[in-house]
Amino acid sequence: MTTTKCKYWLPKKKRFCANLPLGTSIFCGNHTTRTNDKWVPCPIDPSHNVLEENLEGHLKKCPFMKYAKSLSLLPYYSKGINSGEEGNEVVDYVTSEMKRKAVHGMTAKEVSELISKIKSVHASICNDIEDSHKIPEACGVWTNHEIDRKLPFQEKHVLQQASILGNLEDAGVIKSSGVGGTEKKQSSGNGSCVDDDIPAVVEFGAGRGYLTQMLADCYGIKKVFLVERKSYKLKADRSLRQIESLTLERLRIDIEDLNLNTVESLKGIPYLAIGKHLCGPATDMTLRCCLAKRCVQDNVAEGTVNTYLRGLALATCCHHLCQWKHYINKRYMSNLGFDRDYFHAITWFTSWAVDADHGTSLSDVDATSHPEIREDGRGWDSDALREDGISRNMSAVDRAVLGFMCKDIIDMGRLMWMKEHGLDSRLVKYVPSNISPENRLLIAKLKNILF
């Protein structure tokens, strides 16, 4: 007997939805027309909504309940510890749709003034972001495709991962231990063996963990912590566990709730924090997690830090998801004259950086280019409220350049915060934009530390 399927037509897939209908409806739960009743986010997991009148019953059977209960029992779980909310301050989450409506609701003159300000700020504080495409010899086993063919990888990801590690090596945070991480390193200048000083690795937003896989293969790391809130298939965990000298611990938790100081197996161990494409506020939360203000202030004067952070490499990503409530350096933004609303407008503009054709690098594009918008607003479409009222006044290259400017301004605030908290830090472009337009890397090490 043929099972009845949902009757909702999916234009892009050119077929009907394959889910089962809901009750007497001809549509599944995803496509049944919602009533005018109020829908609210599930308090257990806000990723899904529930009818307010059904909330009490839903809480008893929510599939995320079991996970939430087990999470609360973890010794390193501390709800919202890295969220950035201060005191009794309550700041609502701003969706991309809300950002878009706010920007399209601005007048032509307001948009012109904002873009001019972005251009001016970028020219004054973001003029020393260098290209730093580093492919270290130690990663040859990966770049030359000599790895186990069972490991899934794409060339563009290998180049990104290798450059992240190359920048860490260039900064003196890690040192090559030979191909495959098997050769013994020479002693460091202070007479101690560098092997004994290799930090553990904490990869934030680890996903499947292949950045750590390359690091372990090429630099001989001995202790690994993979922080990721989701469950993934085809993880690197199996191949990592086959390395006899390496111990692996996966922490399934949101970075927002992770108290790294209470991870028992990491206490007293120097570690390196890494992350590739940490989406939006995850970068800010990671910085708080590694460099909590209370820890640094207590120890900077003595030249030691209780958390034992030795170095950091974070490839930022998805700036359009950034939130004022989570941003690490609100004071920096405020001093530039960007309040909460302007900050969210800037984050919305960042999506334009990845909209352009990156078949060729945009690095040669004049970063001072600017759409022709006059002070009186002429040159800008008068119908600013229309869906495409802003973007159609600018070429694809203009939009991309503005998007990159906004990304740089956001990341520069993070860089300044890191410097204020005792890190020798840089912001670089670690791959060309034709490999990935998300190509900014925060790289740092603790000052006066010998690796």
Residue 370 — very low, low, confident or very high, per pLDDT cuts 50/70/90? very low
Q: How far apart are CA 417 and CA 329, in angstroms?
A: 6
Is the Cβ–Cβ distance between 440 and 316 less than 8 Å? yes
- pLDDT of 281 > 90? The answer is yes
**Residue 62, phi-psi category: left (phi > 0), alpha (psi -120 to 50), beta (remainder):** beta
* The pLDDT value given to residue 151: 63
What pTM was estimated for this model as a whole? Answer: 0.79
Of 228-242, 314-328, 412-426, which range is least confident?
228-242
Q: How far apart are CA 139 and CA 143, in angstroms?
A: 6
* The pLDDT value given to residue 230: 85
In terms of Cβ atoms closer than 10 Å to its own Cβ (0-12, 13-18, 19+), residue 11 is exposed
N- to C-terminal Cα distance for the chain?
A: 68
Q: How far apart are CA 246 and CA 252, in angstroms?
A: 19
Which of 122, 419, 146 minimizes the C-alpha distance to 300?
Answer: 419
Highest mean pLDDT among 71-75, 201-205, 212-216, 352-356: 201-205
Which residue has tokens 């690796």?
451
* The pLDDT value given to residue 290: 92
- pLDDT of 257 > 50? The answer is yes
Is the Cβ–Cβ distance between 289 and 260 less than 8 Å? yes
